A and B are shown apart, each in its own frame.
Chain A
């Protein structure tokens, strides 16, 4: 990516996560996605160390993909198509070839792989926008690509086959920017496959999903998975609309404005509504040429693709487009490299623009493109589309776990597609912009790789704990992370926003052994057969629970649900010292509203490295009456090192009534 590593504070000169981890050297990131474009400069292997001897993977040949397509950066590539192939998929209307090989036909996998572990590429940009040196989060890590997603989606049989092979191949991190809706764990192939991966010491990082801001939309919710929501950067691409009345409406665009004479010309505005053709959304073929020819067309966001609307406008003879957010998108701008001069405006701006159009006989406007602007806006903020908690199937585990950059991420792109990925787009670029929790996920995969390189003996739970307890609760200005117009709730941000420089040296970790996940499933009331399906372990829950009375999963965040008249919960946590010997930590609690929180002991004195100490937390509801309506509150619990303020180990607390 051309900027997010800087936004996250990663530097190749100052002492931080990159230096401490050797840029992720020696670690292997497996990416389950749409494949890879191996010729992308992000996968060049100059300066890369040799392929690790433990690597058992392969570079599978196929259509337009040779065994020689792999190198010391891209050390493995395979494709899994049997589940897809047999699923009576109708012939694709897509004009782009779908390669029957690890070669990426749609760009998504190239983008995510390079975000996780792409090497440095100077002078990267999207048509001149967002220019900079592109780097993945772990530029020294090796990448292994497992193509499981095809034009119509990703079948769980293919995903499971890829996880099956990746475990044997020897990956250290698995990155899955895919998912759907939350599922019970025994019905969730990703949860089942990843349990075995975690048992093998592999960190599994998954996208939280894009079904936000709907409550309980978060997917990939197994506690052994790191579930990643999406946030914004402080980088903007202003493309401001100057209306005929002289007023301005803020918008953003990646269109290289000044390159075309028509780009900033004042044009007549038109918003085509009525009928059933979806013209307000600018569906292909819905815009009457006589109404839009030579004009600036307003299109509502939603239903069809943002860039596709631009093609629809262009096909109908329109000269420019204003993409207007609807209420669900609020002010979030996910920019695209449109095929015609275009800008995207927020919901409030859309209301203003439409009011101007409704009250003016000949509305006119022009777009003023402002290039790339960094650092002037508040960030990170929660992306509106980022899936939200509470966790639908396990109220004791807060999901998503953390946020990472996922809006307007510029990363590598294949040469078979234009920057909009539409077949009509004949431009060719090495980088393009994408938004989604898909883009957030590989940021954390790369960061997990950095931690793995710095601490090769750490378990996936320890790596995840380091990422979660070091996450930032505030934005870059020290103010609350925002979610639209309000401070974000823990159900949107989990433990906060990733901070790799702190995650590499967390001081303390909450570790979890695979057997503890099994006991946790017992506490949730899963049956013996359901637990066997998920974990392949034959357990007697009554015995497990008898031996582990009052068990709490040693999760780095705290989530309590007061149900059935219960007013008090006692939970335990166990911290392991991975910082310095003779470290003393004291606790600070910010209790959720309506709740009293007691912690014992309030000081933890670690004499040795790897020493573990436990503490108890009593969460007591002070609410007198319980209404039928579900209500929430949140707080936090932080262990601070008395002599090293860098080591702050923070856990969010969520309470549900």
Chain B
């Protein structure tokens, strides 16, 4: 499963140490992906959503290996796999 892409919700510290150096949250979130992905990967194709109101963070397509890398970054609060809910 190490290389299988899955959707994860990555929650960041709202006032993370790196956040102030980016003009928008979207760019900040992209930079997180850039740090995680190999250099030839286009991080924008992996970024699904950039959250700023309901949560600080993003949803992205990631492998388990990349998730482990992300978890080690200082501004990452939590990483959760996308969940499928149902109508009731």
Query: Which of B48, B56, B77 touches A157 (beta carbons < 8 Å)?
Result: B48
A210's nearest neighbour on chain B, judged by CB, is B88
A86-B7, A160-B59 known; A168 vs B53 contact (CB < 8 Å): yes
Please tell me if A600 contacts chain B, counting CB pairs below 8 Å.
no
Contacts of B13 in A (CB 8 A): 532
Q: Per DSSP, are chain B's interface residues mostly helix, strand or loop, or mixed?
A: strand
Cβ-defined contact, A164 with B87, below 8 A = no
Contacts of A165 in B (CB 8 A): 53
Cβ-defined contact, B88 with A436, below 8 A = yes
A192-B55, A193-B55, A532-B77 known; A153 vs B61 contact (CB < 8 Å): no
A230's nearest neighbour on chain B, judged by CB, is B88
- A residues 74-94 touching B (CB-CB < 8 Å): 80, 82-83, 86-87
- B residues 19-65 touching A (CB-CB < 8 Å): 48-49, 51-56, 59, 61
Please tell me if B83 contacts chain A, counting CB pairs below 8 Å.
yes
Please tell me if B78 contacts chain A, counting CB pairs below 8 Å.
yes
Instruction: Sort chain B's interface into a size bin.
Output: 20 to 34
Nearest CB of chain A from residue B21's CB, rounded to whole Å:
20
Cβ-defined contact, B59 with A178, below 8 A = no
A385's nearest neighbour on chain B, judged by CB, is B88
Please tell me if A590 contacts chain B, counting CB pairs below 8 Å.
no
Nearest CB of chain A from residue B2's CB, rounded to whole Å:
17
Cβ-defined contact, A153 with B88, below 8 A = no
Please tell me if B71 contacts chain A, counting CB pairs below 8 Å.
no
Query: Which of A154, A160, A437 touches B49 (beta carbons < 8 Å)?
Result: A160
Cβ-defined contact, B48 with A177, below 8 A = no
Chain A CB within 10 A, most for which of B5, B7, B77 = B7
Cβ-defined contact, B86 with A179, below 8 A = yes
Interface flags for B68-88 (1: CB within 8 Å of A; 0: not) read 000000000110101111111
Contacts of B84 in A (CB 8 A): 87, 152-156, 180
Please tell me if A438 contacts chain B, counting CB pairs below 8 Å.
yes
Contacts of B85 in A (CB 8 A): 153-156, 159, 178-180, 190
Nearest CB of chain A from residue B54's CB, rounded to whole Å:
4
- A residues 141-177 touching B (CB-CB < 8 Å): 149, 152-157, 159-161, 163-165, 167-168, 177
Q: Per DSSP, are chain A's interface residues mostly helix, strand or loop, or mixed?
A: helix
Nearest CB of chain B from residue A342's CB, rounded to whole Å:
24
Cβ-defined contact, A82 with B54, below 8 A = no
Cβ-defined contact, A86 with B55, below 8 A = no
Assembly CA distance A187 to B14 (angstroms): 18
A155-B82, A157-B59 known; A536 vs B49 contact (CB < 8 Å): no
Cβ-defined contact, A82 with B51, below 8 A = no
A187's nearest neighbour on chain B, judged by CB, is B80
Nearest CB of chain A from residue B24's CB, rounded to whole Å:
14
Which 5 A-B pairs give the minimum distances between C-beta atoms?
Answer: A193-B54, A157-B59, A207-B88, A163-B54, A167-B53
- List residues of chain A with CB under 8 Å of any chain B CB: 33-34, 80, 82-83, 86-87, 108, 149, 152-157, 159-161, 163-165, 167-168, 177-180, 186-187, 189-190, 192-194, 196-197, 200, 207-210, 436-438, 441, 529, 532-533, 536
**Known A155-B82, A167-B54, A533-B78; further 20 A-B contacts with Cβ < 8 A:** A87-B7, A87-B84, A108-B87, A149-B87, A152-B84, A153-B85, A154-B84, A157-B59, A163-B54, A177-B88, A179-B86, A179-B88, A189-B9, A192-B55, A193-B54, A208-B88, A438-B87, A438-B88, A532-B77, A533-B11
